[in-house]
Structures are given as structure tokens and as C-alpha cells.
A and B are shown apart, each in its own frame.
Chain A
Amino acid sequence: MTTLREPAPTVHERLEHTWRDAPGLVGWLTTVDHKRIGNRYIVTAMIFFLLSGVQALIMRLQLAVPDNTLVDPQTFNELYTMHGTTMIFLFNTPIVAGFGNYILPLQIGTRDMAFPRLNAFSYWVYLFAGIFIYSGYLVDQLPTAGWFAYPPFTGSQFSPDMGMDFWAIGVAFLGVSTTVGGINFIVTTFKLRAPGMSVSRLPLFVWAFLATSFMIVFALPGVTLAAVLLEFDRAFGTHFYNPGGGGLPVLYQHLFWFWGHPEVYILFVPATGVISMIIPVFARRPIVGYLAVAASLVAIAFISFGVWVHHMFATGVPVLVGSFFSAAGLLITIPSGVQIFAWLATLWQGRVRWKSPMLFSVGFLTVFVLGGITGVMVSVIAFDWQATDTYFIVAHFHYVLNGGVVFPMFAALHYWFPKFTGRMFNEPLAQASFWLMFIGFNVAFFPQHILGLWGMPRRVYTYQSELGWDGMNMLSTIGGFVFALGVLVVIANFAWAWKRGAAAGPNPWEADSLEWATTSPPRDYNFLEIPVVGSRNPLWNEDHREGIVTEPEHGGEVLAPAEMEEETLGTAGLDARREAVLPMPEPTYWPIVLAFALTVICVGVLLTNVQLIALGFLGAVGAAIGWFQPHEHGPEPEPEPEQEREQEMA
């Protein structure tokens, strides 16, 4: 285990001075520090998680007994639409981005993301888009068509108020944030890995983010386009989805699910990346089948694009087409199976320590196997015709998304909490919260499979007593509240630990990856010296420790130049050889200004107000000019020595 010595004052102080944000509000608004941004993502996403949890509990109360009148149908439809929209767009995607932001640069041993300002920008867009989507509550005009918003119901004829506009514009806007984030993760992983961190030494968490980011880049335009065309239909009277004008409602479904199915993996693959980090640490053994797992992540990213019609078997697609997509849906089981058995083999061959992150991970494993199994079941078409759009599907995707993403995210919260805060939470309380969440989850969602088979469709605000669905619904509601109690215990535990927890030290779990090679919480500049990586589990392999220290002069780059520029090291190639010293940008207001200008455009479209749109556009152009203007231009460096260049190339 690494010990921390107080570093040489000059280097530390110089780095400290270079990388520090301005104090107070100015620093808060201008920061481009990936750790602060990551923290923000996580906290904001958790707030949306709680909002969406409240929505879910109100729905469960409404459905607990038949013919209930707790909420009226309009409110119920708003609740489930906002619940789904929040969970997919405003919780799952961003919290994953939050962990990626905080952890990924640390894990690859660098000082920030490749595009720190873009990173700040994507957080602000996320925040503003989230507020935009939720501002429907201010005018009491909310979408009611579910999180996938099928036209023609969502067209202006059947949903005349602004609720759907908030949804469509907000979702398209949010896509900017996700896309930019995905590109940032790709370039960061390509270019900023510590020297020696070849692709075969990349932590699986990073592999997972790479796979996810590729999926984002290729899939996200689907939902953006679906939402933009929907808004065009609503605001400008185009006919894309309007059968009366020659359009096709089913076009929306193709576009939406072209993104929507990869989206499941966009959410779930980073979660598996988290699990692939945690299980080896608590089994005290490197993961079994590293290459197989990495290859599985890549395979999932590819196959996920062949599955979208999976969601449309009941739309009357030709049988042959259906069979092809059904086969692709089944095929994706194999890479998922490889991962599951790699984790099992790691547990099998390891010496397991029972800590809360491990509990959440194993809880995930069982829940996810069930969700995967029902996923296979609904890939088989004749059964899917029965299951689709019923509570069976509701149960299935809660096993996959709540079980497969929320549990890993809670595992991640517990695993990295000491790194984020420098403090330990109360372990027995954490274990208690796990059991509450695990039991509550299964009690809430397992009965829903049965309800679906009994004929209960999803998105019904009530049901009649004669149908015999009461008991299971009541059970499900009780489970929901137990789950919520577990979440509250987690929050209480964290709130307590944030202030009073015991000091965690740099590496409380005796973990292997580079984020544990620095202080908890890490300093602004992350590493005193850019580490040099010699193995897949750098902190475990004593033989390869040369770079993993926290004092300079160990062969790594210190990069604390006298002229006080923020710098990090760029590397190239599969083997991450040193390539260039990259200057990093200063804190700046432009990201928040640009995000705000784009928000003004969105409000302009919402109100179909041309002046506002023009104002926002001008603001965006101005912000972009300010952003890309070189703020300070040093003297022209000496011309490069040609012979060295040639040597490098040879």
C-alpha cells in the first residue's frame, strides 16, 4: 500500500497555484476541474433521482388499490411520463457521466479531461435542460405520453398544450450534453493515458466508457432527430409523423429505438465497468478473463445497433425482419454472459471481503441475471406479443435499469465516497441500506411480472377490482416504499459521513487502480507527477511501482512549469507513448454563457418567439468567439528541430 509523504514544497506549491480555482462564486461558475464537475453531475443526478422516486411512490400509492382516486388520470399520466423521462435522461445518463468525469481521468493518470471547458459546458447544458424539462411544472403543462412519446398522440392535435414541447425541446437539447460528453471521454482515453497505459492495461471501467461513448456518438442522433422532427411537426406544421399529410408515425419509432436500444447499453455498460472494478478489489484478485470482458464490451457496442426493432414486434413488422432483430436481441446475451461468468470466476478464485460496495455488486449480479433472462424472453416474438406494453415489460426494464444501473451506481457511490470526500461512511448502516434496497426492489418489481402475464397493461391510472390485480399491486407498493427507505438510509449515512466520517486515507479498499494512488480527495492537479504505468493493476504489482508514487523524481512528468500554465501529458498509440505536453485551459465563464445562450434558443422555440431565438443565436456566436479566442499569446516558440522529429518518426 502506498504511503503519502509531504511532497517537495516547490513543485507542490507551484502546481497548487496553477491548478487552483478562484475562491467563492467566481470559482464555482468558472471551474473546469473534472472532479468538481463530476461531483456536480452526481449530486444533480441524485436530486433528480429523488424527485423521480417521489413520482414513483405517488404512482405506487395510486395503484395500490383498485379504482383509486388519489390522483386524477391527467396527473397520473404526467407522473409516469416525468418519472421515465427523469430516470433515463436526467438520472441514469448523467450519473454515469458524473462517475466517468470524476474517476476516468484519475484512473488513466492524467490531470483533466481532454476538453475541460467542453466538460463544464456539458454539465451546464445538462442542468439547464433538466430545469427546462421540469419547468413545465411552473405552468402546469406537462407531457403525458410516456418517456418515448409516440406520435401522433404527441402531435399538436392530441397534445395541444406545451407539455410535449418542454419534453421534445428539452430532450433534443440534453442530447448536446451527452454527445459532447461522449466525444470528450473518447478523446481523453485516446490521448491522455499515462505513459505505459497500453490498451491491454486499461482499467475495465475505462473500456466500458469507451464502448459507451462510441454508442453515444453513433446512436444519440436518433433521439435528437426524433425529438426535433416531433417539435417541427408541433411548432411549424410539418408532416413527418402525420398520416394525414403523408407522414408515417412508425418513422418516429424507428428513429427513437435506433437510439433507444443502444441507450439501454449506454446506461448499462458503464455500470458493468463499475462492477468490473469493484469485484476484483473485494475478491482480492485481478479479474478473470480481462480480455474476454473487454472484448464483450466492444461486442455489445456493435450488436446493440441491431436490436432496435425488438421494441416494435407488435407494430406489424414483417416476420422475416422481426426474426432478424429477434436473433440479434438473443445474440447480445453472449457478451453479457461472458461478463457475468467472468465476475463469477473472479469471486470463485478470490478471497471475498464483505463490504457494502461488494454487497451492492453481488446484489446487482443476481438482479441483473433475472433482468437479462426476461430480456431474452421478450426477444422471442410470440411471447413478446403477449409481454410487450404490460407490467411484465415494466418489471423487466426495472430489473435491467434499476437493478442493472441503480445498484451499480450505489455500489460506485459507496466505493468512491472515500475518494470523493476523504471520509468513511458507517459500514453497518451501509449494509443495512443495501438489504432494504435489495429486498424492497424485489418485492416491488417481481410481482409486476405476474401482473403483466395476468393482463395488466402499463400506463393505466387505475384498474377494476374484479380483475384480481389488487394483491400483487399492493405488494409492489409496499416493496417500493421499502426500497425508498433504503435510499433514505444511504443519504443519511452519507450526510453524516460527509461531516463526521473517519479519515479514509488514499486507498481504504486496497484497490489496484490509479485513482487510489493520490490523496482523498485528490488535489486540484490530481497527481504530483504523471504516473508511469507498468501493469494492469498498478497498485498491486510491486514490481511495477516506479511511477505510482506521490513524490517527484520517479521518472514521470511533473509538469509544473515556471510560467504557470496548466499542462498535462499527451500520449499516443495503443501503447501510450509520450507524445506532447498539452496546455490545459484556464477556468472560464464561456461554457456557462454558451449553455445559457442555447437555453434562450430553446425557450424561443418553445414560445415560437423569433426575437428570442435570434438573441440566443447571437449570444451563442458571441460565446463561441470568446471561447475560442486565444486568451493570451506567448512568443512564437523556436522552430522545431527537424532531426529530432525524424528520429521520433523512425
Chain B
Amino acid sequence: MSVGEAVAVERVQAALPEGRSLGWWGVVWTITTESVLFALLIMSYLFIAMNHDHWPTEGTHPPELMKVGARSVILLASSIPMEIADKGIQKGSQARLRWGVAGAFLLGLAFIIGHFIEYYELPFHWDTHVYGSLFWTITSFHAAHLIVGLLMLAFVFYGAQRGWYSRRRHTGVKVATLYWHFVDGIWVVVFSTVYLFPHLHPLLKH
């Protein structure tokens, strides 16, 4: 058997896309380190909050929950079309990919617009007091991640239009999906800390 033939045989055998792609592993570890970053932010929040007798600091009310609750539902719901897109392209469905990504993008966009409206209405800023610093920093860290996620979705949508993805090649979609789920999941933690915790603080402190 000549070298050329040996190579050809090996290629057929080895070309099966089995197991997780490199991209999958890369994004999983990126998510891990980002999660630690958020965990430390949350710990910082709690550390400072527990060092205060009044939280939020005096003169500020705990955040209002109705609007942000509605926004949270929208954001969490956006994981569903994303999952449809990911599963769709694994089965070769370009339509499900496109509609799913577009749906997730629009829901994410709705969330972030609501978020900026909330910023606009806030009675305090990041330099008002440490509560304001924490509130703005943690939520804007999340918003920054969400914007990166939206850019990824836009990129995937563009790629889907160009026909980059198929049953066999869909690492890009997988990466965007995992990242999007991460951004959604981390919101649950951010919401619990930044929005719910101030309501619980008096119970914990006394």
C-alpha cells in the first residue's frame, strides 16, 4: 500500500465528526472562567451588603420587581428558540436555524432595551454610593455579555443566510447556543442577588 492510499484510508475513517468539537470545549471553558468572574462579583456584592446595617444604603429603596420580572421571563424564554435552532441544524434544517436564531435575537434585544430604559429611570448612579456602584457594575457586566451574545447571534444569522452551517458543520451554532444559555443562566443569579436580595436583607441582618 502506498503512502497516498494509506492516507486516503485514514482520512475516511478519521473524518467522522464524533464527540465534541474543539469549539465546544473552548466555549465550555470560557463559560467556566466567566462564571467565576460573576461568582466573585456576587460574592463582592454580598460581602459589602453584609457589612452594612441598611441595604440598600439609606435613602434608596430596594429595586422594583415587576418590570424586571417580566424582562427576566423574556430573557429566559429566549433560550427556547436558540435550542430549536441548535437542534434544528443538527438535523439539517436551515429554516429552524434561521427562525430560532432570529427569535432568540429579538427576545434578547427586547430584554436589553428594557434594561437601558431601567438605567435611564434609576434615581441613583454608580458614583452615588457603593450600592449604586454594585448595582450598575453587576448589571452592566451582564449587559455587556448579553451584547456580545447578541453580536454572536447576528453573526450566526448572517452565516445561516450564507449557508455556512449544515448537519456536519455547525460548531458555530453550538458555540453561540452554549454562550446564550450561559448569559441567560447567569441572569438568574444576577437577578436573585441584585433584585431579590435587597428585599431579604432585613430578614438576614436581624
Contact = CB atoms under 8 A, between A and B. Distances in A.
Interface in A114-153: 114-115, 118
Contact of A183 (B7, B13, B29, B130): B29
A237 B19 contact: no
B127 A238 contact: yes
Given A237-B126, A247-B130, A639 B167 contact: yes
Contacts of B26: 114-115, 118, 183, 187
B94 interface: no
Q: How large is the interface on B (under 10, 10 to 19, 20 to 34, 35 or more residues)?
A: 35 or more
Contacts of A186: 25, 29
A397 to B, nearest CB: 24
A194 to B, nearest CB: 13
Contact of B10 (A118, A219, A248, A557): A557
B47 A645 contact: no
A552 interface: yes
Interface stretch (B36-44, B64-72, B75-83, B187-195): B36-44
Contact of A8 (B3, B19, B133): B3
Contact of B7 (A216, A221, A561, A628): A561
Contact of A648 (B16, B47, B131, B133): B16
B151 interface: yes
A644 B26 CA distance: 27
B172 interface: yes
A581 B32 CA distance: 27
A636 interface: yes
Interface string B1-43: 0011011001101111111001001100110111011001100
A570 interface: yes
Interface SS, B side: helix
Contacts of A225: 37, 40-41, 44
Contacts of B29: 182-183, 186-187, 217
B33 A251 contact: no
B72 to A, nearest CB: 24
Given A187-B22, A217-B36, A258-B40, A628 B3 contact: no
B126 A236 contact: yes
Contacts of A240: 44, 48, 130, 133-134, 137
A580 B126 contact: no
Contacts of A553: 3, 6
Nearest to A236: B126
B155 interface: yes
Contacts of B168: 636-637, 639-640
B22 A570 contact: yes
Contact of A224 (B17, B37, B159): B37
A255 B47 CA distance: 11
Interface of B: 3-4, 6-7, 10-11, 13-19, 22, 25-26, 29-30, 32-34, 36-37, 40-41, 44, 47-48, 51-52, 57, 126-127, 129-134, 136-137, 151, 155, 159, 164, 166-168, 172
A-B interface, 3 closest residue pairs, ranked by CB to CB distance from nearest: A237-B127, A238-B133, A246-B130
Given A237-B126, A240-B48, A637-B168, 12 more contacts: A8-B3, A221-B33, A222-B40, A224-B37, A237-B127, A245-B130, A248-B47, A558-B7, A621-B151, A639-B168, A644-B16, A645-B16
18 contacts: A10-B4, A114-B26, A182-B29, A217-B33, A220-B33, A229-B137, A236-B127, A237-B127, A239-B129, A246-B48, A254-B47, A553-B6, A557-B10, A572-B18, A580-B19, A630-B159, A639-B168, A648-B18
